[in-house]
Amino acid sequence: MDQEQILTRITAMVEDEKKLRDSLAAGEIDVPTERERLAALERELDQCWDLLRRRRAKTEFGEDPDEVTVRPVAEVEGYQS
């Protein structure tokens, strides 16, 4: 996935997040369903942002960004600020 594809995917997931919130407000889904789907979206978003940052770092230092692969959720979610 190149940078544009990653950004397109991030945008789509943000739109999905908004749709979920709208569906909850409209009574189309219940709170547990919204939370479950939002949690899955947030995990995937974290993976995409991680991938994008690492690809940009490779590019910045003259390395091949295509060497970077998506890290498992457990690894991405385990980061500490």
Which pLDDT score is estimated for 78? 76
Structure tokens that stand for 36 in this block: 């479950």
Half-sphere exposure (Cβ direction) of 47: Cα atoms closer than 13 Å = 16
* Contacts for 70 with CB less than 8 Å, ≥ 6 apart: 47, 50, 51
Which pLDDT score is estimated for 77? 84
Query: Using one digit for the tens of pLDDT, what is the confidence trace for 42-76?
Result: 999 999 999 999 999 999 999 999 999 999 999 99
Provide the whole-model pTM. Answer: 0.86
Torsion of CA 13, 15, 17, 21, to 10 degrees: -170
Which pLDDT score is estimated for 79? 67
pLDDT tops 90 at residue 32: yes
